[in-house]
Structure 1
């Protein structure tokens, strides 16, 4: 006996209900997203990461349209800061190179030039260290080298701090000078107006003209 008819549905299929306010453009976007997902699934992980990053950037641009433009002042300040950092790093590298060259010259017994010798202010007796000899000399030289490198770093850091402090002080002094000049100009203008009022013809101290005469009965 066959009971296959029990597994069949007696309900008739209904007509699919249309979703309101959904046009063909939405369907196109959905199909594009589906195609992108299927393509990413077939590609290696690097390509998937690139597609995900591109999708994130697109979402961010749509979410914040004002961020698409760039602030010219911020960009200029960032460029100036980057240039200043590169200049500071170059000065630090140059100072470190001078320190290392001077140290190697002194440790090997070569006479350094006058400018380097005047800048060094070294308190290490290399002649005595060479006379003593031994492994302690190489260890001491390594410690001395590290100390010189640390001194160079401190010198560069102190120079940056002095430059920043000097810039702030100059800015404060310039602002104070501008404020003082503005106050002096305002005081001068008030004095000129007062003199002009006092020197006006036909005006007495109490504001009455000289042609007015009063008689008392």
Structure 2
């Protein structure tokens, strides 16, 4: 019975078989070459060396673009004050829309009064829900 990966550890090492027709001198030369190669350490393939060189290299104009982006961010970029002011404005508009005290001046994307009216009509009629474009949603068969 073989247990796959468990059988590897049960193998007993054996004496190496001599290769017929190969002398000891040529084996010593091969062993010397292997030792020399191991001593030099791992050798990166051409592809890996090329990728490493490309990773170290910088593209032309990167520093100029980075400086331009930093300058743009300093002039009119995102700041904590601007974000807080924008969120406060959104909250104020939302509260006004929910309370019904604000009249949409064309900026709102949703007409909440019409939406409530359509939802009420739909609930009374028991029809299918409206689609994304305001038309009746088609039923899939």
Q: TM-score if structure 2 supplies the norm length?
A: 0.30
Which structure has the highest helix share of the two? 1
Higher relative contact order by CA 8 Å / sep ≥ 6: 1 or 2? 1
Which of these two proteins has the greater Rg computed from alpha carbons? 1
